[in-house]
Structure 1
Amino acid sequence: MDRDATDILISGGGVAGLATAIAFGAAGFDVIVVDPAAPVTDATQDGADLRTTAFLQPAQAFLARAGLWDALSPDDTPLAVMRIVDAARDPAVTRDFVASDISDAPFGWNLPNWLLRRVMVDRIADMANVTLRTGTGFAGMVARLDCALVRLTDGGQIAAKLVIGADGRNSAVRQANGIEVTVKRYGQKAITFAVTHPAPHDGISTEVHRAGGPFTLVPLPDHEGLPCSSVVWMDTGPHIATLAALSDADFAAAANARSAGVNGQLTLVGKRSVWPIVSQIADRITAPRTALVAEAAHVVPPIGAQGLNMSLADMACLLDLAVASPQTLGEPAMLSAYAKARHGDMRLRVTGIDVLNRTSMAASPLVHDLRALGVRALHDAAPVRQRLMKLGLGAS
């Protein structure tokens, strides 16, 4: 049987897999990406990912290194302030975490996920050493001393020095290597949508907390001349199902009641999408000739813009190790260094976000009081506030 050969085989053609392919390709490695489905690159297509991603400073630097940022930056929205509103109390407790306290740059930049896919697919089309194969996926692998032999679902085979699993929370690569995961379920879902509003967002991303989960507004570019934001509304699964079934008019009324008046009257724009909320961490992030990144390794609730930014930190670490010693690509020493550098940080952040989410879900007035006191304490002591913001950006 004919067999293709490459430096790196990536399973998964989502944002994480495409970004990984481009970064390694820009560094001079030969890369093949496989995914059973073609990326959806138009917001109006069925299956379009209508969520947005806030790229924090280290993630933006990674995308710039990969040669992607110039194409993305015309559509980004800077995030200058992270605002926390605890609306479970009367009066509400509001605190602003301002990027200028610790940096000359914004905390990050917000971009639609469907647009990320479009820019990344276009970039791959211009790269001679990166190939995107859709319509086929990872079926299995055998790791040898010098390479991994990967079987594809269309019957093809690829020999790769390194296999990267970027194929999501149900990763086929992870399962093929017998790696278990620890999953925490919250009985939560998130509904995502976009809104326009009369008040400018001024680059402020706002998390409004009551019970059930946060209601988060993230700045977007203007829509038809009006200020616009992306919203992630987390709550119990049954409540989100009820919301998803409402008419646009009734849903808009419910969103305005939940928003605590942030940015004024909210007007629904476009479609709504529903996503399950879980927390998940892989027991290991490496196997022979294999590394896991992104949601194949860790899944967190959408709080604090940590999810994809953690994923890009995985990729940056793996890329640095590969560039420093390309002759050891996929070998045990490289994979051990990756696991040592990333797995502890993954566990720490997954645990921290789990605590934040459980606190946000709580209906107890006592928990609300403690949460409000915590927000005040973390914000009002300047050294603590600045350290917290640096940790949120990924600083150690």
Structure 2
Amino acid sequence: MTKRNAPVADAEVIVVGAGPAGLALAIALAQEGVRTVLLGEVRTARDGRTVALFDPSIRLLDAIGAWHGLQMQAAPLVHMRLVDATDNLFRPPPVTFNAGEIGLDAFGYNIENATLVSALSALADRTAKLVRVAASATAFSAGHDLAEVSLDDGSILRAPLVVAADGRNSRMRADAGIETREWSYPQTAVTAILSHSRDHRDTSTEFHTRSGPFTLVPLLGLRSSLVWVCSPHEAERLAALDDESFALAVERQARSMLGRMRLEGGRGSVPMSGLAVSRFTGNRIAVAGEAAHVFPPIGAQGLNLGIRDVANLRDAVIDARTRGLDIGSPEALAPYERGRRLDVRMRTRSVDALNRTLLAHFLPADLLRGAGLIALDLIGPLRRFVMREGLAPHVRLPRLMSRTGAADPLLL
């Protein structure tokens, strides 16, 4: 009998999905000398969506060499204002958070999603040890030594570790048998970019309304991005308005805080929902980004969590290689599983609880939320703790997000 040759790995890691999280992870791994394949096409539609990247996420982008080219296209978030607009009997005063209170020039930066993806894609093209394949992944299977990813062109790629960063409907996650829990809200998020006659003064303002948050986040110049969470019926009404009438509706909802408004570009509309996974790793696979968690667009947690996935998984892979471990083994992936479970579940519960209290016409819930806003306004140590926790978990940050380059606690 002729002995069959064992399959040969095409890479050390295959990253499936070329969104922001997949791109950033592939770049971060390849820069450490990890032979990496990135699968998927880049989509850069300018649909009015932006992302507010918090300080730890900025540190990671800076560490991989992406931030220098992006900073001039991003607006700093120096102040964050919360306004109770629920018209309840117990209405607390607005609360403003200032980045200087926790030693930062800005909490983070707001940038158009398409701009971020384009810059990361260009950096990926220049990164050694990173091979890009535009074909789509159609199936995943895990063997004893290697995982296999089938492509839509009929070819197969093999690696010790596959990372599913292919979005909320991840085929890789499903094939790996990682279960999910999904839920929805009776809400739709309307997105757009608008110019206005008054200066936003680097202040993000979030109005808490009975239908959900109405948020205006600064962009460069006299421009802001909008996330208006409302009922599906209201979203349909807004979609039917012409551009001038839509801008006027936004202006009125914002209480003319930024003056006269004008729509720039297109509008988006996203049904509000969430997704959580039963586990973050499986046999020779890890999930990251929206394949691991989906959030309503509240509190800017979604992509910032995805970037923390990137930083944690990068550390797990590099540490496993240093120790001589099989990087797709349960032992190698255990730190990633532990690290992401607590962080993601805490964020999921807090965002879900906030959104549901806004929807509940329930006096005790209104009183509790109002009392919390008053406490944040009056109690400095509590306010600073909440600001720090909003940026990142109060635990050891992964190396690319720390100020020292080592896995240090978040000291702000």
CA displacement 1:167-222 (0-9 Å, x = unmatched): 11111111011111111210211111011112211111110111111111111012
User: What SS is found at the alignment partner of 1:196?
Assistant: strand
Of residues 57-66 and 357-366 in structure 1, the stretch that sits farther from structure 2 once superposed is: 357-366
Alignment equivalent of 1:307, drawn from 286, 302, 310: 302
Alignment equivalent of 2:253, drawn from 252, 258, 264: 258
State the distance in 2 between where 1:344 and 1:372 align. 27
Q: 1:68 to 1:315 in 2, by over 3 A?
A: same
Confirm or deny that 1:127 pairs with 2:132: no
User: What SS is found at the alignment partner of 1:84?
Assistant: strand
Amino acid in the other structure paired with 1:267: R
1:95 to partner: Cα distance: 0.8
State the distance in 2 between where 1:87 and 1:265 align. 20
Q: Which 5+ residue runs of structure 2 have no aligned equivalent? A: 395-412
Residue in structure 2 matched with residue 44 of structure 1 by the alignment = none
Aligned partners of 1:235 and 1:361 also within 8 Å: no
Q: CA RMSD in A?
A: 1.9
Confirm or deny that 1:162 pairs with 2:167: no
Alignment of 1:193-272 (within 5 A): 193-222=192-221, 227-272=222-267
State the distance in 1 between where 2:49 and 2:39 align. 23
1:142 to partner: Cα distance: 2.3
State the distance in 2 between where 1:66 and 1:79 align. 22
Aligned partners of 2:31 and 2:128 also within 8 Å: no
State the distance in 2 between where 1:357 and 1:168 align. 23
State the distance in 2 between where 1:362 and 1:252 align. 28
| Percent identical residues | 36
Q: Which 5+ residue runs of structure 1 have no aligned equivalent? A: 42-46
Of residues 364-373 and 143-152 in structure 1, the stretch that sits farther from structure 2 once superposed is: 364-373
Amino acid in the other structure paired with 1:116: L
Confirm or deny that 1:142 pairs with 2:137: no
Of residues 365-374 and 385-394 in structure 1, the stretch that sits farther from structure 2 once superposed is: 365-374
Aligned partners of 1:208 and 1:260 also within 8 Å: no
Residue in structure 1 matched with residue 407 of structure 2 by the alignment = none
Of residues 243-252 and 57-66 in structure 1, the stretch that sits farther from structure 2 once superposed is: 243-252
CA displacement 1:329-377 (0-9 Å, x = unmatched): 2221121221111112111110110001112333456644443332112
1:309 to partner: Cα distance: 0.5
Residue in structure 1 matched with residue 65 of structure 2 by the alignment = 67
State the distance in 2 between where 1:122 and 1:104 align. 29
Q: 1:247 to 1:307 in 2, by over 3 A?
A: same
User: What SS is found at the alignment partner of 2:160?
Assistant: strand
Alignment equivalent of 1:17, drawn from 22, 44, 52: 22
Amino acid in the other structure paired with 2:290: E
Alignment equivalent of 2:43, drawn from 40, 43, 46: 40
Of residues 285-294 and 352-361 in structure 1, the stretch that sits farther from structure 2 once superposed is: 352-361
Aligned partners of 1:87 and 1:260 also within 8 Å: no
User: What SS is found at the alignment partner of 1:243?
Assistant: helix
Aligned partners of 1:3 and 1:156 also within 8 Å: no
Residue in structure 2 matched with residue 278 of structure 1 by the alignment = 273
Residue in structure 1 matched with residue 371 of structure 2 by the alignment = 373
State the distance in 2 between where 1:4 and 1:50 align. 41
CA displacement 1:304-338 (0-9 Å, x = unmatched): 11110011111101111112231432221121221
1:123 to partner: Cα distance: 0.8
1:164 to partner: Cα distance: 0.5
Amino acid in the other structure paired with 1:280: L
Alignment equivalent of 1:319, drawn from 314, 320, 338: 314
TM-score normalized by the length of structure 1: 0.92
Amino acid in the other structure paired with 1:64: D
User: What SS is found at the alignment partner of 1:232?
Assistant: strand
Alignment equivalent of 1:53, drawn from 40, 51, 68: 51
Aligned partners of 1:83 and 1:94 also within 8 Å: yes
Aligned partners of 1:205 and 1:218 also within 8 Å: yes
CA displacement 1:9-39 (0-9 Å, x = unmatched): 111111111111111112221111112xx32
Residue in structure 2 matched with residue 188 of structure 1 by the alignment = 187
TM-score normalized by the length of structure 2: 0.89
User: What SS is found at the alignment partner of 1:325?
Assistant: helix
Amino acid in the other structure paired with 1:232: V
User: What SS is found at the alignment partner of 1:352?
Assistant: helix
Amino acid in the other structure paired with 1:208: F
State the distance in 2 between where 1:240 and 1:366 align. 29
State the distance in 2 between where 1:48 and 1:252 align. 18
Aligned partners of 2:56 and 2:391 also within 8 Å: yes
1:378 to partner: Cα distance: 2.5
Q: 1:245 to 1:132 in 2, by over 3 A?
A: farther
Confirm or deny that 1:331 pairs with 2:326: no
1:262 to partner: Cα distance: 2.5
